[in-house]
Chain A
Amino acid sequence: MQPHAFNMAMYNRRRFVSRLLMVLSWAAAVSGMFVLLLILGTLVYRGVGGLNLAVFTENTPPPGSAGGILNAIFGSVVMTLFGTALGTPVGILAGTYMAEYGRNTWLTTIVRFINDILLSAPSIVIGLFVYEVMVVTMGHFSAWAGGVALALLVLPVVVRTTEDMLLLVPDGLREAAAALGSPRWLVISKVCYRAAKAGMVTGVLLAIARVTGETAPLLFTALNNQFMSTDMNAPMANLPVVIFQFALSPYPEWQQLAWTAALLITMTVLILNIGARALSTQNTKKN
């Protein structure tokens, strides 16, 4: 073999393979962006036409006539607020235990593992669970059950972010506060929570964004209601289930309302997501 046998063919082949796959990587990124724009574009294109005042002032119409989705917007807001109000405190307390009291204990390890699994577990199973526990016991569908189902989806998100954010608080702060003689509960509530506030708020925003579009757990808990209802003990209309029902119907008015509702939900979720992101970057910059 010659000392400088440079295999040009092999070199060219290696270079070609690399170039080809890098082009494919570019194509993958472009197609990902393309799909996002395509979905958002479709939503705006088909949803904006139906946006008018009636959407926000009238209730869901009977088949074949025009109307709005006021009752569904109201129901979604009420159940999301109730679910968040129920799930957030429990989530913050659990996250506090994991980061403050039980660091490196077996309980924390198990809870973290289980919580991470619940975070991505199918939400329809949560719906079945709440159906069996609440709807069967009470004998009817209700907004309470819908709110509880959403709370169970909020919980793992809040647990996760609370623990992560509290672990970022430097131990020096805790030690400084303790050295001043402050009891543990004041260290946690006045020092740790304040330091981790922005991150914890981000977690709650992300949790709200997640449950805003959840449909599967509401199908057999809150069900749906054609009329405006403020009774938490009765079935309540909500945007996701209205979209499900109206989109699959043969009536053009209903399908139009479904697209408009889809546009509203997506915009809400995206704004919450972007807001949470902005809040967390602002926070990391400050640190």
Chain B
Amino acid sequence: MNQVASVASRASAQSIDVSAMRRHTLWDAALRIGTRAAAITVLLLLAGVIVTLFKGSWLAFSTFGPGFLSTETWNPVKEEFGALAPIYGTIVTSIIAMAIGIPISLGIAIFLTELCPPSFKRSISTAIELLAGIPSIIYGIWGLFVLAPFLQAHVQPVVIAAFAGVPFLGAMFAGPPYGIGVFTAGIILSIMVLPYITSVTRDVFETVPPVLKESAYGLGCTTWEVVTKVVLPFTRTGVIGGVMLGLGRALGETMAVTFVIGNAHRISGSILAPGTTISASIANEFTEAETALYSSSLIALGLLLFVITFIVLAIARFMLYRLKQKAG
């Protein structure tokens, strides 16, 4: 503050220092232009990513045409590549992650806003948020050495036996218990998206005016009725935004999935079988891709992933902004 004061006192004493004023004008211009340039850099970064990936994937798209998206074959020896198996794996793992992750995240958010004793609230929130801080590779090594063997020994045999012979579910849970596979990847992803969905939904649940909830309780509603008939309708946009944010994470998650999915370029009817996702294929094969067409096909996968996650995340942000505007 001293310098500010001294600048001011110098100016007010009428002894205007021309060179100092010129220096200030210069610094002002430099900072204004510099900050604007930095802001534009963020936009250029996005443009750069899209242009580069587009250029890199051109060879693959021009060789295979639109059939690239609908072909299951992935044969590096014959140089025939199709993206269907990774796309399928990405979507199926994300669906599993959401099916498990959304109810649990909402449950935790309801617990934190409606049930939790105030003294525990902070520490439980922090603990859940720390789950988001754990690096993805740690989930991978834990999934491979702890979760997969556990599922293989205790969960998958039971599931396979339970659904054997049931028309649709039997095929879905068929085959030997590998431990690793699409199902295990989905479970790991569900743990990883938990903190994202939980922290957004908890925040939007807290924006519900207490008087609305109190009125509902006053009419004799149970806690569950307050949550489903007052809190959720009031916060719908924000909850959808949080879920889409989690979905964006699940679609693009790389290392954890690479460890546990088994990396098989095929589409199996059973979700217990090994598969692959877009990001896992890139992580596994990119450094080994010798030919131009092979690496171009992997970059094409990267472009697809970027476009899909961009759309999902854009919807998420749009929903959350709208909520913020509504809240004022």
Find chain A residues with CB under 8 A from B138 CB.
39, 43, 213, 262, 265-266
Q: Is the CB of A190 within 8 A of B141?
A: no
Residue of B nearest to A194 (CB): B1
* Option from B38, B46, B136, B259 in Cβ contact (under 8 Å) with A97: B38
Q: Is the CB of B116 within 8 A of A266?
A: no
Find chain A residues with CB under 8 A from B30 CB.
185
| B71-79, B80-88, B162-170, B305-313 - interface stretch | B305-313
Task: State the Cβ distance, A236 to closest chain B Cβ, in Å.
Answer: 15
Point out which of A29, A180, A214, A219 has the most chain B C-beta atoms below 10 A from its C-beta.
Answer: A29
Query: Does B176 touch A at the CB level, under 8 Å?
Result: no
Query: Does B210 touch A at the CB level, under 8 Å?
Result: no
* Option from B39, B130, B142, B286 in Cβ contact (under 8 Å) with A219: B286
CA of A162 to CA of B212, assembled, Å: 35
Task: State the Cβ distance, A108 to closest chain B Cβ, in Å.
Answer: 7
Q: How many residues of B contact A (CB 8 A)?
A: 99
Q: Is the CB of B39 within 8 A of A120?
A: no
* Option from B4, B40, B105, B245 in Cβ contact (under 8 Å) with A177: B4
Query: Does B104 touch A at the CB level, under 8 Å?
Result: yes
Interface 0/1 of B30-57, CB less than 8 Å to A = 1110111111111101101100110110
List the count of A-B residue pairs having beta carbons below 8 Å apart: 282
Find chain A residues with CB under 8 A from B255 CB.
215-216, 240, 244
Enumerate 28 A-B pairs (CB-CB under 8 Å) in ascending A order: A17-B222, A28-B104, A29-B107, A32-B104, A33-B124, A90-B38, A93-B35, A96-B35, A107-B39, A107-B40, A113-B317, A114-B46, A121-B309, A124-B279, A124-B302, A128-B298, A128-B302, A133-B52, A156-B42, A177-B4, A181-B7, A181-B8, A183-B28, A186-B27, A219-B283, A247-B144, A259-B141, A270-B133
- The 6 tightest CB contacts between A and B, nearest first, are A213-B135, A122-B252, A28-B107, A18-B222, A93-B38, A180-B8
Q: Which residues of A contact B (CB under 8 A)?
A: 14-15, 17-18, 21-22, 24-29, 31-33, 35-36, 38-39, 42-43, 46, 90-91, 93-94, 96-98, 100-102, 107-108, 110-111, 113-118, 120-126, 128-129, 131-133, 152, 155-156, 159, 177, 180-191, 209, 212-216, 219-220, 223, 240, 243-244, 247-248, 258-259, 262, 265-266, 269-270, 273-274, 277
Question: Apart from A18-B225, A39-B138, A125-B252, what 12 extra A-B contacts exist at CB < 8 Å?
Answer: A25-B107, A25-B114, A32-B127, A94-B39, A118-B45, A122-B306, A125-B53, A133-B48, A180-B5, A185-B31, A214-B135, A247-B144
